[in-house]
Amino acid sequence: MKEISVLVGAGSIGQAIIRRVSAGKHIVLADYSEENAKRTAKTLENAGFECSTIQCDLGNKEDILVLVEFATSKGEVKHMVNAAGVSPSQAPVEEILRVDLYGTSVLMEEFGKVMANGGSGIIISSQSGHRLPALPQEQNDALAMSPVEELMRLPFIKEINDTLKAYQYSKRCNVLRVAYEACRWAKRGATINSISPGIIITPLANDELHGPRAKGYIDMIAGMPARRAGTPDEVGDLAEFLMSSRGRFISGADFLIDGGCTASYWYGDLQYLKATH
């Protein structure tokens, strides 16, 4: 039985991470589109990795339970990476909350029950979660600790009627939930952290940079301290450190990797965005 790396969401960022941590391991690729997972598997297999694929809707608890069973049938789960999700321009409020808030919380909880000793998890969140002002402590506690089936029924979540707010609350929830789950994963000798990327060049981001909202993105990049977008490999390098033996003292933490975009949003040239966010 091999050690298993699980990747949920077979896009560019997920691939960059899983390639760095999966030499000699069997990779389970889960994606809403199994066709997408199979394309990724072919790319990885041509680079020397062994893969299996499975269709998985992150917002569906039954799909997640099937994924956990599928992965554990092949060996010990050493790594779990969630790079799946939907964005404010892709889906309505209910879908964003179902996938990004509820589904991601279920995924962390269920894999936390099966992780191998010495294992590690990474949740890809977003800089968007850092654009919410500080929440009341009772809201933080509710997002972090509520039973997963109650998350969608929280009064302040039910009041959300804007896709950007739904996304921001979902990503804030991811970060809080990682802190909560780190305490549970520790009982199995495993760590879990989140990474909050800013503008990273992926096929979807490239579409945005050449689409009707291109100017907003270009202006945002110009107002960031880094003055450029990031690459999936830069996120992969950070994740590799967190998931390696060098990162064992780090758990329950969130890491912004956004070229200083959030700093500029609150205190620099991008403060004008607060009026629209």
Instruction: Please give the positions annotated as active site.
Output: 167, 171
Long-range contacts (CB closer than 8 Å, 24 or more residues apart) made by 29-32:
29/53, 29/54, 30/6, 30/54, 30/55, 30/56, 30/67, 30/84, 31/55, 31/56, 31/84, 32/56, 32/57, 32/58, 32/84
**Residues with Cβ within 8 Å of residue 32, at least 6 apart in sequence:** 55, 56, 57, 58, 84
Kindly state the DSSP code that residue 188 receives in the 8-state scheme.
Answer: G
Write the DSSP string, 69-113.
HHHHTTEEEEEEEE-----TTTS-HHHHIIIIIIIHHHHHHHHTT
Per-residue burial over 23-33, b if 16 or more Cβ lie within 10 Å, else e, is eebbbbbbbbe
- The residue with tokens 């503008």 is 199
- Please list the alpha-helical segments (H only) found in the chain: 12-21, 34-45, 61-72, 93-96, 104-111, 137-145, 155-158, 163-185, 203-209, 214-222, 232-243, 261-267
CB atoms within 10 A of CB 250: 16
